[in-house]
Amino acid sequence: MKQDNKNARRLVSLIEEFRKLDTEMQAQQMIIFLSVMGKPDMTMSELEDIVGLSGAAVSRNVAALSKVHRKGRPGHDLIVAYEDPEDRRFKRVRPTHKGTMVYNALLETLTR
């Protein structure tokens, strides 16, 4: 039972790390960010399949996690979407330097 309490505290700490970025960050954004960290440079279509969200929902959340959110508002600057250099019809996503630093902080939280 004691181990369960420790694991629950670790998971709460993980969510708190995300809340340091944005106290109202949605679970969809957390899942998309972690998915991009798990498979950098995937296409937006692959990301849609992995997270099980519509293209519009993925696009909206990727924008929130990028440097500039919709309507010119600042985003979190954790990931970047870019044109596939081999096929410009596709967009790919990868973490930014800040995104990698946040991810490392999240991993550190889990190992405490």
> What's the length of the chain?
112
- pLDDT band at 3; cut points 50, 70, 90: low
Angstrom distance (rounded) from CA 88 to CA 78: 22
Residue 2 confidence (pLDDT): 60
Range with the poorest average pLDDT among 2-16, 25-39, 64-78, 85-99: 2-16
Does the pLDDT at position 92 exceed 90?
A: yes
Does the pLDDT at position 71 exceed 80?
A: no
Percentage of the chain modeled with pLDDT above 70: 96
Residue found under tokens 């929130």: 64
The type of residue at 29 is Q
For residue 89, give both structure tokens.
Answer: 């019809």
Residue 28 confidence (pLDDT): 96
Residue 6 confidence (pLDDT): 85
Residue found under tokens 């099980």: 52
Does the pLDDT at position 78 exceed 90?
A: yes
Q: At what angle do helices 27-38 and 55-65 cross, to 10 degrees?
A: 80
How much is the pTM?
0.90
Angstrom distance (rounded) from CA 53 to CA 68: 21
